[in-house]
């Protein structure tokens, strides 16, 4: 009878080396990094695109969660945050609390790599938007404290 060792799935080590890549994602503003040149095949020149690693990749996933509505991601239709009509109603302090609790519950469900320390949603009634300030850590990377600021309105979330 074969035995499987699944200890590696439960144990997480912290990353000390800067050059070790655990997570990789496309850079949110897709740009070309550099051409991959092969002098023998000049006519078949390929271009590479910029990717983000580790902390930046997890931050990209966080922004993707904030900007995706359920049903938009074909292979994972439950992924995303459903703000419903909350962003189309007048901006108030009470709605900021409801939106904040919705963000927190979905962040815990879809992005367990992130530990949210503080979330501040400030309503700006004149512009009908909320100023979002997220302070979070990523325990896998020595609890590095990160900050994400953006605006949330009926047209979406913008960094």
pLDDT at position 2: 53
The H-or-E segment that residue 10 falls in is: helix 7-10
Pick the CATH number of 22-158 from 3.10.450.40, 3.40.50.720, 3.40.50.300, 3.30.70.360: 3.10.450.40
pLDDT at position 20: 81
pLDDT in tens, 86-134: 888 999 999 999 999 999 999 999 999 999 999 999 999 999 999 999 9
pLDDT at position 23: 80
Top-confidence residue, 153 or 9:
153
Confidence of residue 52 (pLDDT cuts 50, 70, 90): confident
- Strand locations in the chain, DSSP E? 24-26, 32-36, 46-49, 51-53, 115-124, 129-138, 144-153, 156-158
Comparing CA positions, the residue from 12, 27, 9 lying closest to residue 64 is 27
Q: Is the pTM of this model over 0.85?
A: no
Domain residue spans of the chain: 22-158
Q: Greatest CA span in the chain, whole angstroms?
A: 69
Comparing CA positions, the residue from 129, 34, 42 lying closest to residue 86 is 129
Tokens of 26: 């496309």
């Amino acid at each position: 009878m074969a035995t499987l060792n699944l200890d590696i799935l439960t144990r997480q080590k912290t990353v000390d080396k800067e050059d070790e890549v655990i997570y990789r994602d496309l850079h949110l503003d897709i740009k070309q990094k550099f051409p991959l040149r092969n002098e023998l095949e000049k006519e078949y020149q390929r271009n590479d695109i910029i990717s983000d690693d580790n902390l930046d990749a997890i931050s990209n996933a966080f922004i993707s969660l904030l900007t995706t509505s359920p049903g938009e991601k074909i292979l994972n239709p439950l992924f995303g945050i459903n703000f419903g009509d909350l962003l189309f109603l007048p901006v108030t302090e009470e709605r900021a609390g409801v939106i904040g609790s919705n963000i927190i519950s979905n962040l815990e469900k879809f992005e367990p790599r992130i530990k949210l320390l503080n979330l501040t949603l400030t309503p700006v009634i004149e512009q009908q938007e909320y100023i979002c300030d997220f302070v979070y850590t990523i325990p896998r990377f020595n609890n590095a404290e990160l900050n994400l600021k953006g605006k949330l309105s009926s047209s979406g979330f913008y960094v």
